[in-house]
């Protein structure tokens, strides 16, 4: 039983060193350095993949979702609605099906309840030798219940970190949701989109007349 407990503690300790919650680094589409551009009529699209970092980037790859930051400049003489007057197409000019940003969030967010596993460290004790011997000639040991601090401490820190990061991620996806957004003439709009797939598709803007 002791061996099983030791293995359990070792496994959780390794997990705590390799799978800790991470913060969220904002994409901030207005500050992104865009490397890809397309144009249709008087509308210019700039886009950039690989805008997520840390756990969000890893989950993006595991879930087969590609997140991109967009910059759309409307140089035409009329207002245009994204998703109606403006479409995103691939290199074959087929319209791309964009994932709902709420779905993207649910797929890529950090799992907060997972970090409750660290509570299993709560029974952990540190044994130290007092240097004294008992009547049987055995060295006496003292135990320090370090798990009472370690378990809840690691759990709390990770859950708070993951929760705060998820909130920031969700807020940014909502703030930069382009679906149904009106891009007024002579202005530039920024957005974040998610596309299903494991490859980086070439994006192009298409003005619908």
> How far, in Å, CA of 163 to CA of 77, rounded?
44
When pLDDT is averaged across residues 21-48 and rounded to a whole number, the result is 95
Contact (Cβ atoms closer than 8 angstroms) between residue 16 and residue 154: yes
Contact (Cβ atoms closer than 8 angstroms) between residue 52 and residue 108: yes
92 φ/ψ sector (left φ>0, alpha ψ -120 to 50, else beta): alpha
What pLDDT is stored for residue 126 in this prediction? 64
Lowest mean pLDDT among 5-9, 33-37, 103-107, 165-169: 5-9
When pLDDT is averaged across residues 87-111 and rounded to a whole number, the result is 93
Does residue 170 or residue 157 have the better pLDDT? 170
Q: List pLDDT tens digits, range 60-79.
A: 999 999 999 999 999 999 99
The yes-or-no verdict on residue 46 having pLDDT over 80 is yes
What pLDDT is stored for residue 112 in this prediction? 82
Cβ burial, residue 76 (10 Å; 0-12/13-18/19+): middle
Residues contacting residue 195 through CB under 8 Å, at least 6 positions apart = 65, 66, 67, 68, 96, 97, 98, 99, 201
pTM over 0.75: yes
What pLDDT is stored for residue 206 in this prediction? 95
pLDDT band, residue 107 (cuts 50/70/90): very high
> How far, in Å, CA of 53 to CA of 37, rounded?
23
């Amino acid at each position: 039983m002791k061996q099983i407990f030791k293995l359990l503690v070792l496994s959780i300790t390794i997990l705590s060193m390799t799978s800790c919650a991470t913060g969220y680094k904002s994409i901030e589409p207005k500050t992104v350095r865009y490397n890809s551009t397309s144009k249709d009529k008087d509308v210019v699209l700039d886009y950039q993949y690989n805008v997520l970092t840390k756990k969000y980037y890893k989950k993006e790859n595991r879930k087969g979702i590609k997140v991109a930051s967009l910059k759309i400049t409307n140089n035409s003489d009329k207002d245009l609605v994204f998703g109606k007057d403006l479409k995103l197409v691939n290199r074959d000019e087929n319209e791309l099906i964009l994932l709902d940003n709420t779905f993207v969030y649910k797929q890529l967010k950090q799992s907060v309840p997972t970090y409750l596993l660290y509570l299993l460290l709560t029974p952990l004790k540190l044994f130290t030798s007092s240097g004294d011997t008992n009547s049987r000639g055995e060295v006496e040991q003292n135990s320090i219940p370090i798990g009472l601090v370690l378990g809840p401490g690691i759990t709390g820190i990770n859950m708070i970190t993951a929760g705060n990061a998820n909130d920031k991620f969700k807020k940014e996806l909502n703030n930069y949701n382009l679906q149904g957004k009106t891009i007024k003439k002579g202005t530039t709009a920024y957005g974040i989109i998610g596309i299903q797939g494991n490859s980086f598709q070439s994006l192009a803007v298409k003005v619908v007349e």
